[in-house]
A = this chain, B = another copy of it.
Amino acid sequence: MTTFTKTPRNKVKRGAKRATYDVETVHAILDAGFICHIGFVVNGQPFVIPTAYGRVEDRLFIHGSPASRMLKTLEQGIDICVTVTLLDGLVLARSAFHHSVNYRSVVLFGPAHKVDDVEEKTQALKAFTDQVIPNRWLSLRPMTDKEVKGTTVLSLPITEASAKVRTGPPVDDEADYALPIWAGVLPLRMVADDPISDPKLPDGVTVPDHVWHSGYRH
Contact = CB atoms under 8 A, between A and B. Distances in A.
A48 to B, nearest CB: 4
A178 B205 contact: no
Identical chains bound together, number = 2
Contacts of A179: 141, 202
Q: From A97, A202, A208, name the one whose CB has the most chain B CB atoms within 10 angstroms.
A: A97
A99 interface: yes
A116 interface: no
Interface string A118-142: 0000000110110011001101110
A188 B188 CA distance: 13
Contact of A196 (B35, B169, B190, B197): B169
Contacts of A20: none
Contacts of A190: 87, 188-191
A141 B35 contact: no
A132 B91 CA distance: 10
A132 B81 contact: no
Contacts of A9: 45
Q: From A87, A178, A188, A198, name the one whose CB has the most chain B CB atoms within 10 angstroms.
A: A198
A212 to B, nearest CB: 9
